[in-house]
Structure 1
């Protein structure tokens, strides 16, 4: 029987990556790779590594995290916190064919003839993808078997090995990334892996590992955390000093931020380090319109973390917790209206009326990544906006956080990181010497001790700037605050049952009632207003209000299928039982064996 699902023939591998440019590197490669591929020249390496590009892609959702309120789908974490995940029904652990593909090249590259720098460039790309693949496994399972070469079916001892310790695997990952950062060439389009993409990934992974070791003290690796913070800061600083990137800022407050996520051409954007090109001409598209009122909405907690435009806290406002949706956007950080739908938003400028939200997801609809131009939003998998994979803003945030965790951050560091991000949206910089501890953030992240006020504000900036880009769940994991996955999210505030305005024009748009049998709250409305109302009933058991007939929207599913964070083993996922049956030497992470 084939173990680990890694025995797929390399002859089945297809070079499938495409971007859209006339340059060879940006065209769909046409060559298939088979077991007898000999990697005789650099062009062979180039063609082969093209097949790896799909292993790192864009993300336009924060999935199951505290950034999300209502969610119609499910996830492994969702199932876990509702006590529905077991070793018997767990998935995953099944993508070893991707590792095999990478190791196949690395094992045969000694045959390649040509310029050494060019050969090392493509070796670096392969090692970057191996590092990324392995670190995702570490984030999911902790200890995993490390394989640096393609394993054959007759290599029984290797196939049946147990996991290697996290420290060995992470050291190997860092060696791969450091090789990649040293040898991948700095030039090339931003649809390709460059030195700067390698350094960005190095800073990302090193920051994760440093945080994980510092805050997950049960691992007894916290004394080594600074090594990784230093690597993260060093890699980020190299991008900052040598990469030629900058925060996209033409002076159009709000619009410049929006352009990063809804543009049809990011090729010349100096903030974009690596992106996926989509094009009608090449027939390459995405599904980013689904972020808007389709499967989820964003959370009250996320909304409240956006500051006022003058840099003060929204949560310092009188009655902040009871402001209705038409009151939330006034004098706020402009990124709020580029992330969550502001009343008056239209999906098409030519429409006579604004979009009317549905409260069943909570009301805070995601507009970040939504293609604003209807002409490029043509249907399922037919959106033609370019999607960023790595951008300079993350590099700045990685640097600021790593330096703060090292207790070595200066005002100059804040100026060139947080300051640049806030300047883009017309907001004042973070002044480290005068910042005070936000009690709400302190309660959210209770294990932050040294340099507390600054670290909390950097975490705020990271959450706001990178919202809906797929970072949040990993951040909660590495900061050791998994209990936030188990908190019931909230949506918008409703002053009481009845009809109310959600578009900001002063006219009622929707109503929330207890049931179809009780229309008393709208009985006195004029008929011309009543006939256009969209009515939602609490009796349909989708949403309810936190105070009965008023309050924040909560979700019946969270009430009926309670969330719970049961312990440290929830930071990992179980290995599927069929895999541990095939290889009894594999051990379940932490307490999953129980």
Structure 2
């Protein structure tokens, strides 16, 4: 059976749907198309075998995400990175309208590359069964590329094929609605689910059915919550929120059935004090069913390298640190609200307070933040024990901006540090708890009630010895996050559970954006802070400097001087990125600019 085109939708949509091809930036499309996607590829002889198709798609795996545990630094969870006083310019409303075509993320190279595959794969002389997996991966990758564009720009043009250099009408087409594009993206994901093999069949290093189901739930939840919470604002969406919440539920239900009620899908050896920590620091995830897709690295292949993850943990992810706000979100070990800023409960300051927090809070805190006594290993100091947060407030790379030094991804075993800066800890791309948390959030949004938590949140909690959420709901009070609008207690609890499990893994920016929750950080009162500073940890010179960067309660406030009024995110415009001016001009102004941004 040969499928040159997939017809996923009714006739009135088919013109825009997935004939499955690709496009380039309006400004540079002619130049790019004239070159061809790869100088060594010939349409006449390349697309004949399943192996050739596979080689082309494997080359696109670099597009996929990886877990590096500093990906939350564009959020209220993490701060720092680079020089002292540096902050995220996007969160501070410093984005400007780009001029050059194809800049600012408005790039269509990847769309072109994947559409080139779809315009040629049907030439393969082998049966569909020989390249079905590859075709499923291509569907997934096109969906992934397009949703990233939608997240940034909202409405975007949908292209089903490579555009010819003389096709001016298509090159200058208007943007399609977010709902139209997202229906196409979801159809692609559904087709990938149909085509892909399971993890057990294709392995943890290839896109698989389980990963596609997780991704379906991720995309659907993002779009549903964006449509709900951005309604009535310049960033509003035309997506049907409830229909997309239901897609999350459907994806969860399908994966639950596929996995036998998630049997063996949450990694645990029965050691609640180490299992969460050890989940993130492995060289290979082939035997960890919780991880459905990972990047595996090697130093034994010429030209290849490790990801440096373990080394980065020992140098503070280049001066990054978790925030006080994140630490405040942890419940105590009994699953109840606790005020970590209470001097009565936590009288100690600085590094000496960290063991007390570890003893009192959800074990995921102590397994993700360095505390005194932890083995702090790297190739330069193989027997080093963590004591205090050294180099606080300096430009040293081996420092943390807050005092809460990230430990996720660390492995003190010297074998994981055999090459300085280049250890081969694998990188997690997708794991099962995400779809569980996505499902519970979507269910609450649809029903204003909690679902059965037995096979999701309760199971996630059990790994670290936390009591089930069922029957142990915490009290939501004034210490909980303020999203800028009222949410029900159960929704606040579910959002908090999500952050407690996934923090540091790159979800938080998408979360606050889809929730339209800039209030989490956008004032001096909620400017991200670090731990309560203890002068006893540092010398006189350091104290003289850092004493100027404390708030009125003694908490380290690294952006007190550089952001005295707090972040200045502009919700009327910053939720959608600007389109480059040259691209608007070269489209004969058929492209419209996003609200609030400059126009030619």
Aligned-residue offset at 1:459: 0.9
1:569 aligns with 2:534: no
Unaligned runs of 5+ in 1: 15-30, 501-509, 517-534
Aligned-residue offset at 1:120: 4.0
Instruction: For 2:165 and 2:171, locate their aligned partners in 1 and report how far apart those are by CA, in whole Å.
Output: 8
Aligned-residue offset at 1:378: 4.6
Aligned-residue offset at 1:390: 0.3
Q: Which residue of 2 aligns with 1:314?
A: 338
Name the SS for the 1:274 alignment partner: strand
| Mapping for residues 114-513 of structure 1, pairs under 5 Å | 114-186=126-198, 187-218=201-232, 224-243=240-259, 246-282=265-301, 283-288=304-309, 289-291=311-313, 292-293=315-316, 294-315=318-339, 318-319=342-343, 324=349, 325-327=351-353, 328-348=357-377, 351=383, 353-358=385-390, 359-360=392-393, 361-378=401-418, 382-407=422-447, 410=450, 413-431=452-470, 434-441=473-480, 443-449=481-487, 452-486=488-522, 487-494=526-533, 498-500=535-537, 510-511=538-539, 513=540
Name the SS for the 2:334 alignment partner: coil
Q: Call closer, same or farther: CA 1:461–1:84 in 2, change over 3 Å.
A: same
Q: Call closer, same or farther: CA 1:322–1:237 in 2, change over 3 Å.
A: farther
User: For structure 1, which segment, 470-479 or 557-566, has the greater mean C-alpha deviation from structure 2 after superposition?
Assistant: 557-566
Name the SS for the 1:307 alignment partner: coil
Aligned-residue offset at 1:240: 2.2
Instruction: For 1:546 and 1:44, locate their aligned partners in 2 and report how far apart those are by CA, in whole Å.
Output: 60
Name the SS for the 2:248 alignment partner: helix
- Matched-pair contact (CA < 8 Å) for 2:214–2:435: yes
Name the SS for the 2:371 alignment partner: coil
> Could you list the per-position Cα deviations for residues 364-409 of structure 1 after superposition, in whole angstroms to 9, with x for gaps in the alignment?
1111113432332255651210111000111211111111111175
Query: What TM-score do the two structures reach when normalised by structure 1?
Result: 0.83
Q: Which residue of 1 aligns with 2:12?
A: none
Q: Call closer, same or farther: CA 1:564–1:41 in 2, change over 3 Å.
A: same
Instruction: For 1:273 and 1:109, locate their aligned partners in 2 and report how far apart those are by CA, in whole Å.
Output: 26
Q: Which residue of 1 aligns with 2:3?
A: none
Equivalent of 1:593, from 575, 593, 598?
A: 598
Count of residues paired in the alignment: 539
Q: Call closer, same or farther: CA 1:10–1:377 in 2, change over 3 Å.
A: farther
Q: Call closer, same or farther: CA 1:578–1:374 in 2, change over 3 Å.
A: farther
Q: Call closer, same or farther: CA 1:456–1:560 in 2, change over 3 Å.
A: closer
Structure with greater helix share of residues: 1
Name the SS for the 2:529 alignment partner: coil
> Could you list the per-position Cα deviations for residues 265-296 of structure 1 after superposition, in whole angstroms to 9, with x for gaps in the alignment?
21110111000001232343102232442231
Unaligned runs of 5+ in 2: 1-23, 394-400
Aligned-residue offset at 1:318: 4.3
Q: Which residue of 1 aligns with 2:13?
A: none
> Could you list the per-position Cα deviations for residues 7-51 of structure 1 after superposition, in whole angstroms to 9, with x for gaps in the alignment?
53597757xxxxxxxxxxxxxxxx964454552232222222111
Aligned CA RMSD, in angstroms, stands at 3.0
Instruction: For 2:151 and 2:86, locate their aligned partners in 1 and report how far apart those are by CA, in whole Å.
Output: 14
- Matched-pair contact (CA < 8 Å) for 1:211–1:225: yes
1:58 aligns with 2:87: no
User: For structure 1, which segment, 454-463 or 244-253, has the greater mean C-alpha deviation from structure 2 after superposition?
Assistant: 244-253
- Matched-pair contact (CA < 8 Å) for 1:482–1:571: no
Instruction: For 1:73 and 1:227, locate their aligned partners in 2 and report how far apart those are by CA, in whole Å.
Output: 45
> Could you list the per-position Cα deviations for residues 64-104 of structure 1 after superposition, in whole angstroms to 9, with x for gaps in the alignment?
11011333269999223434321147942353121111101
Q: Which residue of 2 aligns with 1:44?
A: 52
Query: What TM-score do the two structures reach when normalised by structure 2?
Result: 0.82
> Could you list the per-position Cα deviations for residues 403-456 of structure 1 after superposition, in whole angstroms to 9, with x for gaps in the alignment?
111117555x21211101110000101126855434333x5224354xx22221
Instruction: For 2:86 and 2:107, locate their aligned partners in 1 and report how far apart those are by CA, in whole Å.
Output: 16
